[in-house]
Structure formats: structure tokens, C-alpha cells
Amino acid sequence: SKKKGLSFEEKRARMMEIFFETKDVFQLKDIEKIASKDKGITSMSVKEVLQSLVDDGMVDTDRIGTSNYFWAFPSKALHARKRKLEELQTQFAETSQKKEALQKSIEKSKIGREDTAERAALMKELAALRQKKEQLKGEVEKYRECDPDVVEEMRQTVKIAKEAANRWTDNIFAIKSWAKRKFGFEESRIDKSFGIPDDFDYID
């Protein structure tokens, strides 16, 4: 079956892993090679993803001679993420307070009145603030994706899931072996009876 492509935020998180895991300095061509080979990020999208991380202060860059170099250390990236997160949370709190004040104004304007131009304007502003609030929630979540702690947690979760899957693969191979010995079944018959695909194997 066709694999689902990575989202932009997944690409950002995986690219940060390259820097966090190696703590090295790279040229664009090096990142393109590693990202494509080890992280499942197409080389065509590397430049765009990398630039978004540079713009957000997650990755540092400098030109030395004729080449551009990129690096990001966990402590620096974590500090930048926390600073941006605090900024977004402040904006979020301010937006929430303004939204609450507008909601109260709208409720007050309903008392003994029909719809007015003032109320319509307040409703429009409230809708815009709701949209802004959702946008800020998305921004807060985006920076959480690049948290070194979250990246490490994701890596450990994947490792545990892979080990569990391979344990079950062990069990299935053991049962197939037992069935062949006990009943003389052919392997293809066992696979067909239990819906085991031809390419069934351990996860690398």
C-alpha cells in the first residue's frame, strides 16, 4: 500500500533530530543527503523545511567563504523554543481575555435591544479573535513538535513499538514452525489460512 507522506511539522521535527543526534555542523548538501536517507524527507523539500527552522530561530546559519553552514544544539534550540512558546502563550492569554471581554459586551448589548450595528461589529471582531486563538493554538503545538524532550520521547516510543512488533513476529514464526512439524502443513497454506502476507518479516 502507498505510504502516507510526512506532514511539514513531522519533517521539521525529523530535521531537528539530525542536529540533536549528531551535534555537528552541516552544509545544505549534507543535510539533503542525511534527511533523504535516514529521515524520509525528500531532498526537494529539505531547503524549505530548513529555512523555516532558521526563520524560527531553531537552527543557526552562517556563511563561511562561499558556503553556508547550518547547526543547532539542543540547549540553543530549547531556549529559542521556550522563548517563542512564552511569546505565543502571552498572545494567547491576551486574545482569550479580549475574547471574554467582547463576549460580555455582546451579552450586555442583547438586553432590551434588537440587533445593532455595534453588536454586529462586535460579533465580527469576536469571530476574528476566535480564528486568531485557534491559529495561536496551532503555533504553540508546532513549537512543541521541535522540543528535544518530545523528539526523544517520540524516538523511545518508536523503539518500544518496534521491539513489541518484532516479539510478535517471533511468536508468529514459532507457531508456524510448530504447525509445520505437528501437522505437516505447508508454509504457504498456513500463511493463506491466517492471512499472513508474503512479505511478512521483522521490522528493521
**Does position 61 have pLDDT exceeding 80, yes or no?**
yes
CA dihedral 180, 185, 186, 187 (to 10 degrees): -50
Assessment of whether the complete model's pTM goes beyond 0.75: no
Q: Where are the alpha helices (DSSP H) in the chain?
A: 8-22, 28-38, 43-55, 74-110, 117-145, 148-183, 187-194
Q: Which of 64, 63, 81 shows the shortest CA–CA distance to 13?
A: 81
Structure confidence by residue, pLDDT tens digits, 147-161: 677 677 767 766 676
What pLDDT is recorded for position 55?
92
Instruction: Categorize the per-residue pLDDT at 70 as very low, low, confident or very high, splitting at 50, 70 and 90.
Output: very high
| Mean pLDDT value of segment 8-36 | 92
Q: CA-to-CA distance for 69 and 84, rounded, in angstroms?
A: 23
The three cell numbers of residue 151 are: 523528539
130, 106 in Cβ contact below 8 A?
Answer: no
The three cell numbers of residue 146 are: 521541535
What pLDDT is recorded for position 97?
84
The three cell numbers of residue 43 are: 531532498
Pairing of strands 67-71, 26-27: antiparallel
What pLDDT is recorded for position 1?
41
Distances (CA, A) of 31 to 22, 23, 25, 72, 158: 12, 13, 10, 12, 23
What is the distance between the terminal CA atoms of the chain, rounded to a whole angstrom?
18
**Chain CA centroid to CA 12, Å:** 7
What pLDDT is recorded for position 184?
76
The three cell numbers of residue 175 are: 507457531
